[in-house]
Amino acid sequence: MKDLLFPHKFQPIGWCTFIPALVIGILIYFDTFSFLPNWGATAVNDIAIIGIAVGALFIVCSRERIEDEMTRAIRLSSLLNSIYVYVVLLIACTLFINGLNYFYFLTANTVLLPVIFVINFRLEMSRYNKISNDEEQN
């Protein structure tokens, strides 16, 4: 079964897209761009959402430096765990957040799953890398 993964060089491109877009997205919540005209605010929103989504996609769907069956298994397991976390967050926020704040959550919800996936996958990979680094090279 062939994997549809981007080449490894897309990973740094993903980080360079993801982090600035995430920062822009957070700044939007603090009305940092309220000085912009309507079309400008819309453009900033679009850049944030698309940047986070595309950046996250490049980060998790790019080959690792050494891509083998373990990284594929970690990627799949991270995706499953991310879905569980996403659904729990969705239910919790639906129950405990109301009014306009729930609308803000819904806008963040558009990119919540990719963000959780990135965090989950990179945490798992760094955990396995740490275990192998702690193990004596023998």
Partner 1 sequence: MKNRIKVERAEMDITQQQLADAVGVSRQTIVAIENNRFLPSTPLALKISRYFSKPVESIFILEDTD
Q: Quick check: 126 binds partner 1 (CB under 8 A)?
A: no
Smallest gap from Cβ 131 to partner 1, in A, equals 7
Find the shortest distance in angstroms from Cβ 19 to partner 1: 25
Confirm or reject binding of residue 66 to partner 1 (CB under 8 A): yes
Do 51 and 81 contact (CB within 8 A), yes or no?
no
Cross-strand bridge partners of residue 62: 6
Give min distance, CB of 8 to partner 1, in A. 13
Give the helix ranges, DSSP H, for the chain. Answer: 10-29, 38-60, 69-96, 100-109, 112-134
Of the candidate residues 23, 50, 73, 92, the single one contacting partner 1 (CB under 8 A): 73
DSSP classification of residue 4: -
Q: Does 1 bind partner 1 (CB under 8 A)?
A: no
- Alpha-carbon span 133 to 138, nearest angstrom: 11
- Segment interacting with partner 1 (CB under 8 A) among 9-17, 61-69, 88-96, 107-115: 61-69
